[in-house]
């Protein structure tokens, strides 16, 4: 097993005819993901290396049975593309686009909460289940199948930690980038809940950063509802307050959202927090090694 | 992006939030002209993006021309907690009977707009919240339903607003919410919200933060780049499309991806060093971006050493290495560079660096090793 994406994924891509969309969409197909359709208004009837393009998401779903949508369109069109994919009835939307206005995401989030469509992202690297399917921009060649579920607000930091785990011989069930924006479709808790239920996942690594209070909430949730070991990492101990550190959501507001507070909240609930990516991998290896 | 008070008030006016009449001024003569036009008495207010202006002497009442001249000369150029005053706002003086507080906040935890109202305005609202949380009425608004009359009534009753101003306070809240949504704001705060002697309701201050990602919808607001709001080096980085934050130390940092760069700063600090900046060269960093980034980092004279920490995903290490070789050719840095390349095409990247045999470049295998090396090379800040 794995979570969110796997052999059952039938992927359509909004923006497959764009430069980035085609590069990564076709990369995902080469990895083995079942890429069934692209959506670009006005380009219906064309194809991208044999993948049929439709004018609307509704037509793409009707013709191909797509159940997962990847959004790869410029930020000003992204909210509309998410609404369209949800309206067409896909189960999962993964939005890679970065720079979507926060109010747009608020409306998207509020709408999706009322239905059953799940959103991952935006401003995220996507979801990879090694050996099964890759939806997004995660460089899959670093990762192999295994028992570590990895969930993160950051892309490259995930690769760093995943690679350190790989060097110690540990693979991944699924790697989920939830995104670096203030409002994202799925939280750490949403993803950890699935890892808890996934038989392949033996250990969960969560990779947080400054801003907001998701890590603190996750600490509570892990203490109450998670039986599998969880190892944490928080980036941004040296970040000054009031400055946006690259990700729109990575900002300390007044005294709130600091790395220190997050690490302490997690440790108070028994989650071991590594102070460097290397230490995270060491702790994970120690916990998994002890289990084998 | 934070707006100055008068810029926030321009947005308020656009959406019908009542504000006192006023004019911005950037010189003493402009301030006098503004005051003459408005009629005396006026208030001369420093326009800076930091609180506590009043206490610092940045807000002065002026009952005639002489007062305005004195106030404007004193405030222009004044340093308020590290912010130099470049602009003034001259505003018709208001008759203050009561000071309330009102705000609409983008509550990322609840993922909903939060509207707040309190009778205890004119002071630090966080202090009020700590001392007596019941003094602040709060509602969360469903983003798709919007702010309704009942929200306004509930806030007014729960905050204990006097009956005669309940209507106008409620109406003002509705218009504040409209401003919040229409202008893509992350924060709209009025402190104090004034009740005058004639029981008029007026927004006496305006603190507005707008979403930088939505500026394409608001070109007029986007054009309001405030002199002195940014550090010079930060402005230089922004012009080149780099994500950059200036810090206090002496170790220049470049990485790819926001999380990895934050993590790099932390690891350098743990090794005993002090980072001089945050710089995310972004995914798919091309040679030109690297040259630009090196130039921005080295424009800070405090930098004694530079650390490149790259984990190649979409970014290719050979391109980063090529960019660094070009940057060395063009800029001939005088400080040592420590480079750690891992991930996509890392071996080619390291070979390009080795072949170029750049002076003062150390190649490290791991992130921790690179951090230790750069701290050693940089020495004490």
CATH classification of the domain holding B117: 3.30.470.20
pLDDT at B314: 74
pLDDT at B234: 86
- What is the CATH number for B298? 3.40.50.261
Mean of pLDDT values over A117-132: 96
Q: Is the pLDDT of residue B377 over 60?
A: yes
The better pLDDT of the pair A29, B132 is held by: A29
| Predicted confidence (pLDDT) per residue in B261-279, tens digit | 999 999 999 999 999 999 9
Mean of pLDDT values over A33-42: 97
Same structural domain for residues B197 and B328?
Answer: no
Residue B186 neighbours by CB under 8 Å, 6+ apart? A102, B105, B106, B209, B210, B211
Class of domain A143-291: alpha beta
Same structural domain for residues B257 and B123?
Answer: no
**Inside any domain, residue B15:** no
C-alpha A10: how far from its chain's center? 17
Q: Compute the half-sphere exposure of residue B310: CA atoms within 13 Å on the CB side of its CA.
A: 34
pLDDT at B230: 63
- Flag whether residue B8 sits within 8 Å of chain A, measured between CB atoms: no
Same structural domain for residues B195 and B330?
Answer: no
Same structural domain for residues B237 and B191?
Answer: no
Mutation target among B263, B314, B342 for the A interface, most CBs of A within 10 A = B263
For chain A, give the mean pLDDT. Answer: 94
**Inside any domain, residue B144:** yes
Report whether B96 contacts B187 (CB < 8 A).
no
For chain B, give the mean pLDDT. Answer: 92
For residues B261 and B253, what is the distance between their CA atoms, to the nearest angstrom? 8
**B258 with A207: Cβ contact below 8 A:** no
The CATH fold assigned to A10-120 is Rossmann fold (3.40.50)
Domain boundary among B204, B222, B240: B222
User: Between the CA of residue B169 and those of A241, B190, B362, what are the distances in Å?
Assistant: 33, 12, 64
Q: Is the pLDDT of residue B228 over 60?
A: no
- The tokens of B262 are what? 């934050």
Same structural domain for residues B64 and B165?
Answer: no
Same structural domain for residues B251 and B362?
Answer: yes
Interface of A with B in 220-239 (CB under 8 A): 233, 235-239
**A183 with B111: Cβ contact below 8 A:** yes
For residues A84 and A281, what is the distance between their CA atoms, to the nearest angstrom? 40
- What is the CATH number for B39? 3.30.1490.20
- Flag whether residue B107 sits within 8 Å of chain A, measured between CB atoms: no
**A156 with B269: Cβ contact below 8 A:** no
**Inside any domain, residue B12:** no
Q: How many domains does chain B have?
A: 3
Which residues from B are below 8 Å from A100, CB to CB? 213
**Inside any domain, residue B320:** yes
Domain boundary among B222, B250, B280: B222
Min Cα separation B349/chain A (Å): 17
Q: Is the pLDDT of residue B381 over 60?
A: yes
Mean of pLDDT values over A44-72: 97
Q: Is the pLDDT of residue B357 over 80?
A: yes
The residue ranges of every structural domain in chain A are 10-120, 143-291
pLDDT at B226: 58
Percent of the residues in chain B that have a pLDDT greater than 70, as a whole number:
98
* Structural domain for B48, as ranges: 21-92
**Mean pLDDT lowest among A150-154, A215-219, B189-193, B236-240:** B236-240
Domain boundary among B222, B248, B272: B222
Report whether A77 contacts A100 (CB < 8 A).
no
**B259 with A212: Cβ contact below 8 A:** no
Same structural domain for residues B253 and B207?
Answer: no
Q: Is the pLDDT of residue A8 over 90?
A: yes
Same structural domain for residues B250 and B120?
Answer: no
Same structural domain for residues B100 and B55?
Answer: no
pLDDT confidence bin for B54, thresholds 50/70/90: confident
């Amino acid at each position: 097993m794995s979570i969110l994406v796997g052999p059952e994924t039938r992927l359509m891509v909004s923006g497959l005819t764009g430069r980035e969309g085609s590069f990564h969409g076709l990369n995902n197909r080469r990895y083995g993901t079942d890429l069934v359709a692209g959506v670009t208004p006005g380009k219906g009837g064309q194809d991208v290396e044999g993948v049929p393009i439709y004018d609307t998401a509704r037509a793409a779903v009707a013709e191909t049975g797509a159940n997962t949508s990847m959004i790869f369109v410029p930020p000003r069109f992204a909210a509309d593309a998410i609404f369209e994919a949800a309206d067409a009835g896909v189960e999962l939307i993964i939005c890679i686009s970065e720079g979507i206005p926060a109010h747009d995401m608020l409306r998207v989030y509020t709408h999706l909460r009322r239905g059953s469509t799940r959103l991952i992202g935006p401003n995220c690297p996507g979801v990879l289940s090694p050996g099964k399917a890759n939806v997004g921009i995660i460089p899959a060649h670093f990762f192999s199948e295994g028992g570590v579920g990895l969930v993160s607000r950051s892309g490259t930091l995930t690769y760093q930690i995943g690679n350190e785990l790989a060097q110690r011989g540990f693979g991944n069930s699924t790697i989920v980038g939830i995104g670096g924006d203030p409002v994202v479709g799925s939280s750490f808790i949403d993803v950890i809940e699935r890892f808890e239920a996934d038989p392949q996942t033996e250990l969960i690594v969560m990779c947080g950063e400054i801003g907001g209070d998701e890590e603190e909430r996750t600490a509570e949730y892990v203490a109450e509802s998670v039986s599998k070991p969880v190892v944490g990492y928080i980036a941004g101990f040296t970040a000054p307050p009031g400055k946006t550190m690259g990700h729109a959501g990575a900002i300390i507001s007044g005294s709130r959202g600091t790395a220190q507070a997050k690490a302490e909240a997690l440790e108070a609930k028994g989650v071991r927090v590594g102070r460097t990516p290397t230490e995270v991998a060491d702790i994970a290896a120690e916990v998994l090694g002890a289990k084998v | 992006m934070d707006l100055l008070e008068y810029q926030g008030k321009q947005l308020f006016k656009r959406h019908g939030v009542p504000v006192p009449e006023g004019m911005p001024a950037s010189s003493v003569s402009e301030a006098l002209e503004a005051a003459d036009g408005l009629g005396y008495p006026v208030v001369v207010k420093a326009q800076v993006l930091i609180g506590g202006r009043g206490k610092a002497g940045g807000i002065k009442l002026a009952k005639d021309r002489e007062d305005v001249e004195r106030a404007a000369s004193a405030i222009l150029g004044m340093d308020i907690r590290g912010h130099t005053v470049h602009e003034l706002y001259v505003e018709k003086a208001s008759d203050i009977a009561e000071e309330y507080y009102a705000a609409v906040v983008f509550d990322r935890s609840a993922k909903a707009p939060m509207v707040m109202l309190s009778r205890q305005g004119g002071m630090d609202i966080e202090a009020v919240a700590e001392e007596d949380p019941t003094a602040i009425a709060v509602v969360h608004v469903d983003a798709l339903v919007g702010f309704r009359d009942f929200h306004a009534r509930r806030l007014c009753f729960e905050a204990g607003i006097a009956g005669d101003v309940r209507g106008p306070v409620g109406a003002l809240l509705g218009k504040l919410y409209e401003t919040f949504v229409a202008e893509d704001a992350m924060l709209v705060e009025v402190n104090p919200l004034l009740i005058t002697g004639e029981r008029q309701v007026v927004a006496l201050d305006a603190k507005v933060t707008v979403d930088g990602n939505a500026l394409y919808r608001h070109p007029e607001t986007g054009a309001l780049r405030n002199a002195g709001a940014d550090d010079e080096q930060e402005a230089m980085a922004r012009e080149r499309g780099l994500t950059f934050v200036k810090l206090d130390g002496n170790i220049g940092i470049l990485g790819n991806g926001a999380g990895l760069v934050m993590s790099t700063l932390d690891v350098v600090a743990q090794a005993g060093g002090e980072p001089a900046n945050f710089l995310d060269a972004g995914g798919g960093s091309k040679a030109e971006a690297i040259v630009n980034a090196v130039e921005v980092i080295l424009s800070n004279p405090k930098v004694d050493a530079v650390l490149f920490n790259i984990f190649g995903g979409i970014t290719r290490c050979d391109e980063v290495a090529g960019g660094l070789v070009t940057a060395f050719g063009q800029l001939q840095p005088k400080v040592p560079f420590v480079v750690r390349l891992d991930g996509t095409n890392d071996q080619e990247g390291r070979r390009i660096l080795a072949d170029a045999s750049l002076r003062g470049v150390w190649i490290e295998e791991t992130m921790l090793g690179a951090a230790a090396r750069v701290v050693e090379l940089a020495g004490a800040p």
